[in-house]
Amino acid sequence: MTVRIEKIRCIATAPADIRLVVVKVETTEPGLYGLGCATFTQRPLAVIEAVESYLDPFLRGRDVSEIEDIFQSSYVSSYWRQGPVLNNALSGVDMALWDIKGKRAGMPVHDLLGGKTRMAAPVYVHASGRDFAEVTDRARALMADGFRHVRIQSEVPGQSTYGTESDLKPHEQVNGPVSPQNIFEPADYARLAPRLFEHVRSELGDEVELLHDIHERLPAPLAIQLAKDLEPYRLFFLEDPLPPEELTYFRRLREASHVPLAMGELFTNVNEYLPLIREQLIDFIRVHISDVGGLSMARKIAALCEFFSVRTAWHGPGDTSPIGHAANLALDVSISNFGIQEFTVFNQATLDVFPGCPTLRDGMLWPNDAPGWGIDLDEELAAKFPYPEHPFNGAWPAIRRRDGSCVRP
């Protein structure tokens, strides 16, 4: 019997104080529903509006089995397309439909995708600190916990440095003159980062895999200089060296340095990642799966990358719901060109709100074998973690240079 979409709605929750958006697709079959990640933490209310005011009326009554056609028809239903708001809305529905398909088939999503190519996905986690010694200590503690891949970031003294405690918090509204809270000077950071790597390598040896995220904060010539300066330290990868606005510069970066490059958490449009993959200008694709439109889109990207020897490193920050992490993981364990998985450890409240989360053991993330994502959402509990108070609903305040000009991103 045909099972149809009855209603599509959003659940807004913040069990780790980070705004998450989860889409629930309810069906005509009693008790059968699917969950999808639609988290765009800087603009969550816009995504909720896109889902509930546009996709819900557009898709009610559709046969839940037709995932690809639902994706294609929703995608063009706005005529203008491929931005983060609409892609996240699409992703919420798309992942929920994969969840439903898995539940109907009695299979986990990784089985629907062809079955396991590995038991679990090695992950990298973050070690950051105020100075080199603190970063080293934290990395050492993570290694003792079984992690073999660690991203290291150190604070530029007196500046707001990405990936460290000093980074401007979303709730800190700094609109006045530059201050230690919001200042960032790219050249100071670009001089510091190689010294951090020299220190950490000499302390921790060669076996641990080290990663680093520039977070698009450097003008292109400085990004090239940093990529060259980091070469002696054998990085697993250097992440997001340039912003999406400067993709034409990748060719020069590639010619100048052999550091493995990972790129793409900000990508939303196929014409951003396609040239980089086709020309083998990057080594790892790290799009945020909900920002490119969901699992249907990401699995095509993974397949495309396989033929160009580009490996995956799906974006896995705290602003990904456990459903989004499960989608990352379903691909990780079912494709051949998996590279590494970024992971942010779930806090207890998240584990309680989302029963069935994948588990972490021996530096790897292990999927469960329950049908669909194998993850549920306790709506009553989720309601106990509303979005925290915030002057502009999660949007980021500006980071500025000494002269007051705005730094990307």
Q: Which amino acids are annotated catalytic?
A: 162, 215
Query: Assign residue 85 a region: left if phi > 0, alpha if psi is -120 to 50, beta otherwise?
Result: alpha
Which is nearer to Mg ion, 94 or 272 (by Cβ)?
A: 272
Q: Which residue is nearest to Mg ion (CB)?
A: 213
Q: Which of the listed partners (ligand GCO, Mg ion, none) does 332 bind, with a CB threshold of 5 to 8 Å by partner kind?
A: none
Query: Which whole-number Å values give the CA distances from 79 to 38, 88, 89, 296, in the listed order?
Result: 20, 16, 15, 19
Q: Which of the listed partners (Mg ion, ligand GCO, none) does 317 bind, with a CB threshold of 5 to 8 Å by partner kind?
A: ligand GCO
- Name which position in 213, 216, 229, 272 contacts Mg ion (CB under 5 A): 213
Burial (CB count within 10 angstroms: exposed 0-12, middle 13-18, buried 19+), residue 386: exposed
Q: How far is the CB of 151 from ligand GCO (least distance, A)?
A: 8
- Cβ(161)–Cβ(248) under 8 Å? no
What is the rounded distance in angstroms from the CA atom of residue 324 to the CA atom of residue 200? 32
Q: How far is the CB of 261 from Mg ion (least distance, A)?
A: 13
Geometric angle at alpha carbon 378, from 376 and 379, rounded to 5°? 120
Q: Which of the listed partners (ligand GCO, Mg ion, none) does 217 bind, with a CB threshold of 5 to 8 Å by partner kind?
A: none
Q: Which two tokens stand for residue 7?
A: 């209603």
Say whether 334 sits in a helix, a strand or coil.
coil
Q: How far is the CB of 284 from Mg ion (least distance, A)?
A: 12
Q: How far is the CB of 18 from ligand GCO (least distance, A)?
A: 8
Which is nearer to ligand GCO, 155 or 265 (by Cβ)?
A: 265
Say whether 198 sits in a helix, a strand or coil.
helix
Which is nearer to ligand GCO, 102 or 363 (by Cβ)?
A: 363
Burial (CB count within 10 angstroms: exposed 0-12, middle 13-18, buried 19+), residue 119: exposed
The residues binding ligand GCO (CB under 6 A) are: 41, 213, 215, 265, 317, 319, 342
Q: How far is the CB of 321 from ligand GCO (least distance, A)?
A: 12
Which is nearer to ligand GCO, 307 or 396 (by Cβ)?
A: 396
Which is nearer to ligand GCO, 265 or 283 (by Cβ)?
A: 265
What is the rounded distance in angstroms from the CA atom of residue 32 to the CA atom of residue 45? 26
Q: Which of the listed partners (Mg ion, ligand GCO, none) does 41 bind, with a CB threshold of 5 to 8 Å by partner kind?
A: ligand GCO
Contacts of 398 (CB under 8 A, 6+ apart): 174, 182, 406, 407
Q: Which of the listed partners (ligand GCO, Mg ion, none) does 319 bind, with a CB threshold of 5 to 8 Å by partner kind?
A: ligand GCO
Residues in contact with Mg ion by CB under 5 A are 213
